[in-house]
Chains A and B, each alone.
Chain A
């Protein structure tokens, strides 16, 4: 069987492959954001964390020769940023939205500055698992060449589900995010829980960032992220603060993001930029739909104060 004979099937295959690839950072960032929001805070700074993670992951992988060490240090860099956000927001009358936006600027700025020497060298990339080994069709093999982090992400979504619903700590996190008054009455350390939740969210966003630079084609550049960190916030709302939903939503966003390149791949080059805008249009549509005045909004953690 040769490549030409699969005809129009190339399109869904390209979208599938693209969806898996593009969705991976979304999975990590959105689940990280979900954990943070469940504690009653919004961290808008994950876009900055993402870039910092991409840079740190690439740099450490290059210096140490181990991409997994790169992933870990990307997570730690993100965690440090989460700690910064968590601490700053614990000061009275500091607004988490404003801190988040300043962290976007700080994170991307820091990543660009420290990443200058990383543009040239080649760091070892993350391994991928060739699930398409059974097929001789190159498009199938390309689509099913799945990065290992994708599977970590899927496992993560289920682990977070169990954590939030079946562990005492998970219930404590939800209590803190839903009603600060209740949490205080129960004697929970509200600030500590929020800081730890923001750090966990930062760690995952950092890991998501390392995927950007360490997966195929594997390079560091300043244009790596195209707003995934910001879109993750919309994604969490769309997922109604449920981790399994967040996984599905990430795949949907990934598919939308892969639409443009996939169409280009089969030769449809018209409207390339229009199709590339699909994830942004989706974000906008979701924000409009989920802030409707009439729709019930019972799933949002109470302390986010999203009502009104």
Chain B
């Protein structure tokens, strides 16, 4: 069984006026891992979606073993042994792993005798390096198990080229190493080639042979990983020399007064099952407390319950008074937030930039007079905030959805952080943002802390947390299972707690 040599040549793809791919070539040497680096929107997904037959390139073609192929649908990619593991899993949640495997095979069986089918699947999957239970519903698997099940599915289908789209974003560091380690060793035996889409240099360095960097739809750097330094890769990614990561402001001792106090909080998830279980925590003025955890361990429900967006039991107090997320309390107690995906969760996308900037205070003087809005004051405020936070927009009256992701984030930062912030709740605030917008977000969060605010930072990115927090909590299965100060933090220990391997 030989692994084909796959090559994408001079691929160009336009979406309307937008040039998503500009003459990109990507050679994948047989039996290697080729990393694809780039910021969000650089064209990584578009490129691989052409390779699996989802998109059709306007120009360029795909060569497999020297022969040109046209891929019209995922079925064609299938026939060539090309398969993709998507970031958002494509297993059917209500079906078992075995049912998922059967339904993914090239020809659907007419009648399935589950007894003999299960025996056959067990025989086939036993030879693979990953172990996943076959008769469990996918919705009951952890994120790590789902990822493994996806890869098992691809290997079961006899794929020779595996595309992994940010595979480790939902895994603990240990799980990530395990999964990528297995993929790496499979490529070494010559059974597989892989494309690894990532933005983590550490993974690229450790598990990839070659790397190609995309920026704004063009391939700007390509070569063996060993020949390129991290700085060179970062520079290629953002297009300018890297300014050093924000320096930690000299750490001030936290003030003694507790701002946020959560006692025995319980809340249910959308499926009606408990997602947050008897959770208690405190955040003091002038400190950043981070919550680490693998996605889906109750972080989302915690934030929503805290902000009054979800039914809850237990007590939440801000500066000593009970907090239920009403508009009055938010203004009086100074509670503000940076949610993930700010366009969706912190803005009204069809309203204008100026109106979105006024969402916190449109009902207060000077923005309103009685029941009437003062549009001049609203415009003045917007102008001031846009200048102060360098928001780039087609105009103050442009609809919010016309702004780029980074500028939406700047607008939200401007709106939230120019209030009298005493408690800031940030949840995955840099998810999907480009390098520069991330840096700016970090800087503003640190400024808020140094200004005396209490900050609760929930993030799935452990490196981000360790760079910012004063104290770190680990959340797993809806509970806080570990607490450590920033100085004493050990990534491996934290990873074990994230994986739920140690009980509290």
Chain A positions within 8 Å of B, measured between CB atoms, are 166-169, 171-172, 174-175, 178-179, 181-182, 184-187, 293-299, 301-302, 307-308
Contacts and interface: CB of A to CB of B under 8 A. Distances in A.
Contacts of B107: 168
Nearest to A178: B92
B92 A175 contact: yes
B272 A295 contact: yes
Nearest to B113: A166
B74 interface: yes
Contact of B111 (A167, A172, A181, A186): A167
Interface string B90-111: 1111110001001110011111
A178 B272 contact: no
Given A166-B111, A295-B272, A299-B94, A186 B139 contact: no
Given A171-B102, A187-B78, A307-B271, 10 more contacts: A166-B111, A166-B112, A166-B114, A168-B102, A169-B110, A182-B90, A182-B92, A184-B54, A185-B90, A308-B270
> Main SS of chain B's interface residues?
loop
Nearest to A188: B103
Interface in B106-159: 107-114, 139
Given A181-B86, A185-B74, A168 B93 contact: no
A142 to B, nearest CB: 41
B88 interface: yes
B311 A171 contact: no
Nearest to B73: A187
A181 B271 contact: no
A185 B73 CA distance: 9
Given A166-B114, A184-B74, A298-B139, A171 B90 contact: no
Contacts of B92: 174-175, 178-179, 182
B94 A168 contact: no
A186 B91 CA distance: 10
Nearest to B103: A171
Given A171-B99, A181-B86, A307-B270, A298 B78 contact: no
A297 B139 CA distance: 12
Interface string B260-288: 00000000101111000000000000000
A167 B112 contact: yes
Contact of B272 (A185, A293, A299): A293
B108 A296 contact: no
A293 B95 contact: no
A296 B272 CA distance: 5
27 contacts: A167-B109, A167-B110, A167-B111, A167-B112, A168-B109, A168-B112, A169-B108, A169-B110, A171-B103, A171-B112, A172-B103, A174-B92, A175-B92, A178-B92, A178-B95, A179-B92, A179-B93, A186-B74, A187-B74, A187-B75, A293-B272, A296-B271, A296-B273, A297-B271, A297-B272, A298-B271, A308-B270
Nearest to A182: B90
Nearest to B108: A168
A172 to B, nearest CB: 6
- The 9 tightest CB contacts between A and B, nearest first, are A168-B108, A182-B90, A171-B103, A187-B75, A187-B74, A185-B90, A296-B272, A168-B109, A178-B92
Given A172-B103, A185-B90, A294 B272 contact: yes
B94 to A, nearest CB: 5
A182 B104 CA distance: 9
B312 to A, nearest CB: 13
B424 interface: no
A308 B74 CA distance: 32
A301 B268 CA distance: 21
A171 B94 CA distance: 11
B95 A301 contact: no
B94 A174 contact: yes
A184 B139 CA distance: 19
Contacts of A186: 74, 90, 103-104
A185 B92 CA distance: 11
Contacts of B112: 166-168, 171
Contacts of A169: 108, 110
A296 B269 CA distance: 9
Given A171-B103, A185-B84, A294 B268 contact: yes
Given A168-B102, A171-B95, A174-B95, A293 B90 contact: no
Contact of A175 (B75, B103, B109): B103
Contacts of A167: 108-112
A168 B110 contact: yes
